[in-house]
């Protein structure tokens, strides 16, 4: 457990960099925005791999019995989470996490929720808690879910401080909860090229994972759990 906690602590510390404006801007000024994001993305993947490797060293302790219906939670929530992450990262969004610096425009995904990346990460984590009824998975994916939930408060506070008087106008056209602003008529639903490409990319990634990619990486086939005789 100590090894896992160290790995997860390293993951959390790395992701405090974007929440520290002076450090983040200093790195961008020194490295350039593209180099910063490329390096940060690479380190994030390495840290994520470190966490998974540490989690796999933990003993398997069952908590609840697996059932075929649990796999369908993953089939629904995981692709939705991937879509939110992709669309959120590659859309202009002054209110939350994005790889773009644009502070004046918002992508179509922001009309659905102003924190699409955090929602995507949260949905992906929940999608993996339900079908994996063991302590190791609960600690791993439950930790990711708590990390995403904490991110809502941190990112929201940072955006309010950065935008100042622009916050009320910009945030009024969206909502934290998905689709609330659209349902209340504060903003229309729309799609843009980023959302459309993200949908196609999500479909391709999902098909690859179900066709054997997930088993190749994690030695687990999600389709087998959905079968009623397992």
Q: At what angle are helices 135-163 and 116-129 packed, to 10 degrees? A: 170
Please tell me which residue, 60 or 74, carries the higher pLDDT value. 74
pLDDT of residue 185: 93
- Place 42 in a pLDDT band, splitting at 50, 70 and 90: confident
Over 80: is that where the pLDDT of 70 sits?
yes
Return the domain boundaries, the chain: 1-58, 67-226
32 dihedral zone (left: phi>0; alpha: psi -120 to 50; beta)? left
Taking the C-alpha atoms of residue 188 and residue 209, their distance in angstroms, rounded to an integer, is 33
DSSP secondary structure code for residue 63 in this structure = -
pTM (2 d.p.)? 0.88
> DSSP readout, 21-55?
HHHHHHHHHHH-HHHHHHHHHHHHHHHHHHHHHHH
pLDDT by residue (tens digit) across 105-164? 899 999 999 999 999 999 999 999 998 888 888 988 998 999 899 989 988 988 888 888
* Other CB atoms within 10 A of residue 84 CB: 26
CA distance 136 to 57: 9
Higher pLDDT among residues 67 and 115, named by residue: 115
pLDDT tops 80 at residue 223: no
């Amino acid at each position: 457990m100590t090894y896992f906690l160290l790995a997860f602590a390293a993951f959390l510390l790395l992701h405090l960099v974007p929440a520290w404006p002076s450090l983040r801007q200093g790195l961008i000024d020194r490295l350039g925005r593209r180099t910063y994001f490329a390096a940060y993305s690479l380190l994030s993947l390495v840290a994520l791999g470190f966490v998974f490797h540490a989690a796999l060293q933990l003993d398997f302790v069952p908590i609840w019995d697996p059932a075929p219906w649990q796999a369908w939670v993953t089939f629904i929530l995981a692709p939705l989470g991937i879509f939110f992450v992709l669309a959120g990262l590659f859309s202009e969004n002054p209110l939350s996490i994005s790889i773009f610096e644009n502070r004046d425009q918002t992508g179509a995904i922001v009309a659905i929720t102003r924190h699409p990346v955090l929602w995507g990460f949260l949905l992906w984590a929940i999608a993996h808690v339900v079908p994996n009824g063991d302590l190791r998975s609960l600690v791993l994916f439950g930790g990711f879910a708590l990390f995403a939930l904490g991110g809502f408060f941190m990112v929201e506070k940072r955006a309010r401080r950065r935008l100042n008087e622009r916050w009320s106008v910009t945030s009024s056209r969206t909502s934290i909860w998905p689709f609330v602003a659209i349902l209340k008529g504060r903003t229309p639903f729309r799609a843009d090229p980023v959302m459309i490409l993200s949908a196609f990319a999500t479909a391709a990634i999902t098909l690859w994972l179900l066709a054997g990619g997930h088993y190749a990486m994690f030695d687990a086939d999600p389709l087998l759990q959905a079968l009623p005789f397992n």
